[in-house]
Chains A and B, each alone.
Chain A
């Protein structure tokens, strides 16, 4: 996964969301249509073209106290409207590490 932190120009290929990490505790959050942040991907605002994406990102960047490092991430939207992360990186951010628990002792 090429790190989205390198994101320079904004061009999206399909449905996308804006994601970031919440400032006070660092957890993964998504920008909602209500101009706020949610830890739940199903509440994320979906954007479908570059202008929408740009606008959502600009609004997210402006909310610097709420969350840090916002960027645009691809998602897949099922026929039932269910939102799934669009790549492995985002999948891992959503569901956690793929390595089992470290509490092996």
Chain B
């Protein structure tokens, strides 16, 4: 867990009173919507189809139980009893009243939660691996660096009016769970030959209308120089980024247009000016941040406790364990992924009751800590293995033990036309239907790891480009039509998917996906060959032939 200091607490509280005043002036008519819009966006307040939407940041995906309870409280008191966890470690409430927003913000501020920079053309929530600090083999806890960057960039005037929004993600593991290659800046924590900590820096990744996989701009930037290096990138972006055209304003376009060589030369030049300035980080600063992250007092526990051995006889428990439980860096402990993807339900939603109950379980079994991952699931990061059977039973009662993590029903989906004012088509009902089609656990298991990602428009909030199967909703003559891609991925081997054929209608999407999966089962070389590997080996054509032959 991370403990905020006095500066942060004051900042968050001042921000609430400032916003309360702004809302008052808006409601009285003193501020017009034009004047107010930028202010509300700076506080995470959007307008959706049915209501205002309120986006709250969960920095680097770490929540304490009192914070999760506060989110449950907001869902219950100011919203309709649930929240939606997003792909960028935020939570969104869909039915908030503007007049009550300052109260909701004040209630969240009491537990150190805020909505700053969750929208607008500024530095967004710095995201990280949801297994940070507990993943085996990680270089060090990437949240220390996420926090450093958060502190430096929050309300930083130079980064508050960027050409467009700016997103950074950090990982410290070889397996990238933070999707760093589709961020404006992706940082991979590494050590150089001398054993010093630093970063491989990637730039220019992003999805949306013009998707790009991030490119490595520098193979090693020393940890002490990371702020100046990021600042150099942002300065080059601030100077050359296109402010005239919203579709060309992201850094990915600039990197693409200049080319990575020229872009990196510009950054290098800028960097040399500022590298040895006050932006150089003292070890004490890092140590101070490090000391604010607290870790549990783990017990010495056996690798294979009796409780686990006994529970292994229960096939339902085993099915859940195989998909939801992952190795922890401390012996005797596990990381438990909590699926927010029950069959037939909207991906990523959690009710206030589930949040409260999960907070209780985290207190009991995970040293009071919860994590949020970009796949729209939650995680309990420190569960003793002996507690796994009891935890499973409790999660199951809450509808939070669907044994489908990383399987075909573990779908990422944006709100789509059911909520979003920018949408062209619905996303959530497509996801719901797909989970019903593949509800059979044996079938889902037979298919193995397969990520379906769905977006309701080209903005790509549902990461469709990087889904193993990607589904994009578009509009054609007033009707919802869906384009289907295969072969995308968001991890260290990030790639964009390729279209497999003409768009299909709402009612046909699930049939087509079933055909794609059938094609895969027929085409794979052996059961262990994952969908994504079969596509890589064979390309799109054999899938296209099989799926569209009869259509």
The chain A residues found within 8 Å of chain B, CB to CB, are: 1-3, 5, 21, 23-28, 64-65, 68-69, 87-89, 92-93, 96-100, 102-105
Contacts and interface: CB of A to CB of B under 8 A. Distances in A.
Interface centre among A5, A27, A104 (most CB of B within 10 A): A104
A37 B118 CA distance: 31
Contact of A97 (B26, B28, B419, B424): B419
A21 B40 CA distance: 15
B52 A26 contact: yes
B428 interface: yes
Given A89-B49, A99-B346, A68 B97 contact: no
A24 B475 contact: no
A100 B421 CA distance: 19
Contacts of A96: 50
A69 B422 CA distance: 13
B81 interface: yes
A3 B422 contact: yes
Contact of B27 (A1, A24, A93, A100): A24
Given A23-B98, A26-B51, A69-B33, A103 B81 contact: yes
28 contacts: A1-B423, A2-B475, A3-B424, A5-B421, A21-B51, A23-B27, A23-B98, A24-B27, A24-B99, A25-B51, A25-B97, A28-B49, A64-B33, A65-B28, A68-B47, A87-B478, A88-B478, A93-B50, A97-B50, A99-B429, A102-B81, A102-B345, A102-B346, A102-B351, A104-B345, A104-B399, A105-B398, A105-B399
Nearest to A91: B417
Interface residues of B, number: 44
Given A24-B97, A104-B345, A99 B418 contact: yes
Contacts of A21: 47, 50-52
A68 B52 CA distance: 11
B84 to A, nearest CB: 8
Interface of B: 26-29, 32-33, 47, 49-52, 81-82, 95-99, 342, 344-346, 349, 351, 353-354, 398-399, 417-419, 421-426, 428-429, 432, 457, 475, 478, 480
A63 B371 CA distance: 44
Interface of A is mostly: loop
Contact of B26 (A5, A23, A89, A99): A23
B374 to A, nearest CB: 20
Contacts of B480: 88
A27 B51 contact: yes
B96 A26 contact: yes
B475 A64 contact: no
Contacts of B47: 21, 26, 68-69
B49 A64 contact: no
Contacts of B97: 24-26
A16 B549 CA distance: 43
A1 B345 contact: no
Contacts of B428: 97, 99
A59 to B, nearest CB: 15
A105 B49 contact: no
A104 B478 CA distance: 32
Nearest to A90: B49
B32 A64 contact: yes
B2 to A, nearest CB: 29
A60 B317 CA distance: 58
Given A97-B428, A104-B344, 14 more contacts: A1-B423, A1-B424, A3-B423, A5-B421, A21-B50, A23-B98, A25-B99, A26-B97, A28-B49, A28-B50, A64-B29, A64-B32, A65-B28, A100-B432
